[in-house]
Amino acid sequence: MSKTKKIKSALPKVVGDRIKTLGENLMIARKRRGYSQEHLAQLVLVDRNTIRRLEKGDAGVSIAVLATTLWVLQMDDALALVARPDQDRLGLSLSRDAIKQRIHMKPEKDDHDF
């Protein structure tokens, strides 16, 4: 089985759907700028087929191609919003729980008590 097929078969449905939506959004952005797939591919320094796969939501397209495409389309500010630590609700909650556990440790025996 190819690497791309393994990736696709392991994806949760919601992830696949979001990748597909991302590809569709990139296609809209490309068309609004009047770029053909061929022209965008030249700007991103990839083959036209890679742009086609990106727009179709192919999970095998590299994150570097995605990031470069966003940069070419002047949409790369969106990358700064991805996986921001201050927006990580689960991670922040787990950190708070870990701090609470450390605070509630048993106090050490004081040998200097007279």
Q: Where are the alpha helices (DSSP H) in the chain?
A: 3-10, 13-32, 37-44, 48-56, 63-72, 89-103
Q: What is the pLDDT of residue 97?
A: 79
Enter the pTM of the model. 0.76
Residues 31-58 pLDDT 10s: 999 999 999 999 999 999 999 999 999 9
Domains (range + CATH), the chain: 3-103 (1.10.260.40)
CA distance 58 to 23: 8
